[in-house]
Amino acid sequence: MEFKDFLKKSLEDIKSKNLYRQRIVLSKDTVNFSSNDYLGLRDNQKTKEKLLKNIDNLDLGSGASVLVSGYHPVQQELEDFIANFKQTESCVVVGSGYMANVGLLQAITNEDDVIFSDELNHASIIDGIRLSKAKKVIYRHLDLEDLEDKIKAVNVKGKKFIITDGVFSMEGDIAPLDKIVEIADKYDAVLIVDDAHGTGITGEGRGTLNHFGITPKDNIIQVGTLSKAVGSYGAFICGSKLLVDFLVNKMRSIIFTTGLSPIQNFISLENFKLLSKEDYRRVDVLEKAKYLYNGLKSVGIEINFHNTPILSYVVGSEEKALKIRDKLLENNIFIQAIRPPTVPKGTSRLRITVSHKNSYKEIDRLLEIISNI
């Protein structure tokens, strides 16, 4: 089969299953309920004004890997700020959340190790485990009994790792880290928390560890992104200074890629400062999320609510999810239809996310239209 025929046949198969994906450019009039910009920081005026004042002192690009010549003072300042915010000894900033998880798992594991992973963990974690040489053991979603049974049953020659999302991106539910930390301590395991959707939202904004009153320690690694509640781009890994020194020397997605631009790191730093001191954004978005949840219940749509900005309206079939998405878009409201392989087959859904920027009037409009649909 010729290459172009392979591409054509593959795309036809995807379309026949209602799994075809397209990038949609939204008009300015479209109300977005699919953004991860939970705190409304991605286009805030304060950071824009500071950027304009400082633009002449900032390079457009980093120029190289951070280990060659691309490590600039603003990145160091950003890392120091995040480490302090996350209450850890040290922090390293990398290009994206995907690069963080893939690079971290590759760097710290070997063939004698075992990684215990929640079945609904993010794709970047799944790919990171695949690229590592460690053995993987999947435990049922948030099932602590299943996790402990599997840790007890598996013979581990090397190190043990437990990895979980802090807030799960498709459901919005929160991992019971207080209990998971107990299991990690009991069986001498390292806990890795991907808090991409928890940073800025849970634990008064500090994340899911803080939500459960857990003090960071040497056997806990925190991963997070700068592209969601922080409203910028990039990612970070926080932990002990020893860990960060190790990653700088062993993590391929640090060593073999160009560093983030000073401009991007400046935006992240200023937005993170706003996140840390403007808590009204977090309080507001959670109040709006609860308002939307109650409104959906009132029109007969039963969904779970976990006190996060993510509300998952599972409709089942891929076709139905697409029809609802398209009908909403006709009314200038955008909620993306999430389909396999992002979610299991038969659980296609509208993943509704609320932002500080969404008004109550917009939420009421969404409720009106979705109830009619």
Identify whether 3 is part of a domain: no
CA 33 to each of CA 47, 187, 284, 311, 328: distance values in angstroms, whole numbers, following the listed order: 23, 41, 15, 10, 11
Identify whether 259 is part of a domain: yes
Please give the mean pLDDT across all residues of the chain: 97
Whether 340 and 363 map to the same domain: the answer is yes
Q: Which of 245, 277, 309 is at the close of a domain? A: 277
Whether 223 and 124 map to the same domain: the answer is yes
Phi, psi of 201 (to 5 degrees): -120, -55
Q: Cα(60)–Cα(43) distance, rounded to whole angstroms? A: 19
Whether 266 and 307 map to the same domain: the answer is no
Q: Model-level pTM?
A: 0.96
Whether 165 and 225 map to the same domain: the answer is yes
Phi, psi of 267 (to 5 degrees): -60, -45
Count of domains forming the chain: 2
Identify whether 161 is part of a domain: yes
CATH number at 354 reads 3.90.1150.10
pLDDT over 90 at 82, yes or no: yes
Residue-level pLDDT at 113:
98
Residue-level pLDDT at 158:
96
At 106-140, the pLDDT tens digits run 999 999 999 999 999 999 999 999 999 999 999 99
Identify whether 264 is part of a domain: yes
At 61-71, the pLDDT tens digits run 999 999 999 99
Task: Tell me the mean pLDDT in the region 309-334.
Answer: 96
Whether 303 and 355 map to the same domain: the answer is yes
Whether 79 and 137 map to the same domain: the answer is yes
Whether 97 and 243 map to the same domain: the answer is yes
Q: Which of 277, 305, 332 is at the close of a domain? A: 277
Whether 287 and 271 map to the same domain: the answer is no
pLDDT band at 1 (very low <50, low <70, confident <90, very high): confident
Identify whether 12 is part of a domain: no
CATH number at 228 reads 3.40.640.10
Cα radius of gyration (the chain): 21
Residue-level pLDDT at 278:
98
Whether 259 and 326 map to the same domain: the answer is no
Whether 231 and 317 map to the same domain: the answer is no
Identify whether 9 is part of a domain: no
Whether 303 and 155 map to the same domain: the answer is no
At 256-282, the pLDDT tens digits run 999 999 999 999 999 999 999 999 999
Angle of CA points 72, 36, 98, to nearest 5°: 55
Whether 340 and 272 map to the same domain: the answer is no
- Secondary structure in 3-state letters for the chain: CCHHHHHHHHHHHHHHCCCCCCCCCCCCCCEECCCCCCCCCCCCHHHHHHHHHHHHHCCCCCCCCCCCCCCCHHHHHHHHHHHHHCCCCEEEEECCHHHHHHHHHHHHCCCCCEEEEECCCCHHHHHHHHHCCCEEEEECCCCHHHHHHHHHHCCCCCCEEEEEECECCCCCCECCHHHHHHHHHHCCEEEEEECCCCCCCCHHHCCHHHHCCCCCCCCEEEEEECCCCCCCCCEEEEECHHHHHHHHHHCHHHHCCCCCCHHHHHHHHHHHHHHHHCCHHHHHHHHHHHHHHHHHHHCCCCCCCCCCCEEEEEEECHHHHHHHHHHHHHCCEECCEECCCCCCCCCEEEEEECCCCCCHHHHHHHHHHHHHC
Range of the domain at 49: 45-277
Q: Which of 255, 277, 299 is at the close of a domain? A: 277
At 289-300, the pLDDT tens digits run 999 999 999 999
Q: Cα(20)–Cα(339) distance, rounded to whole angstroms? A: 9
Identify whether 8 is part of a domain: no
Residue type, 109: T
Identify whether 232 is part of a domain: yes
pLDDT over 90 at 253, yes or no: yes
What length is written for the chain? Answer: 373
